[in-house]
Amino acid sequence: MGFKNGHFKYGGRKKGDPNKFTNEFRDLLRAFLQKEILDLPNTFNAINSPERRLELILKLLPFVVPKAQEISLEMLSDNKLDYLVNTLKYESEREN
């Protein structure tokens, strides 16, 4: 037998109150990560394997450089498509 719709809530956290454990954990994790980020150059330099260093770079790269997205001509509006065509024509004429 469950609660009826619209029943009054007794005990527990009030709606919108943050979970105390979650906040403490997030603060602890944030402090740990800040320390590790500051120490990242030393950690990186301590890696002897070129493969492991490259692996680390590739894992960190998406946080700095946005991932390239494929664009098809169907995705472009008529104005953008016209601009692209005109730009290509201009560049082609300039080369000749």
For residues 51-69, average pLDDT: 90
Q: Tell me the two tokens of residue 65.
A: 């450089």
Domain membership flag for residue 14: no
Q: Give the N- to C-terminal CA distance of the chain in Å, as an integer.
A: 82
- The answer to whether 53 and 44 have CB atoms below 8 angstroms apart is yes
Mean pLDDT of the chain: 86
Report yes or no on 49 lying in a domain: yes
Q: Which range marks the domain in which residue 38 is found?
A: 20-95
What pTM did the predictor assign?
Answer: 0.46
Closest CA relative to residue 44, chosen from 35, 34, 55, 32? 55
Q: Report the number of distinct structural domains present in the chain.
A: 1
- Using CB atoms within 10 Å of the CB of residue 56, give its burial: 0 to 12 exposed, 13 to 18 middle, 19+ buried: middle
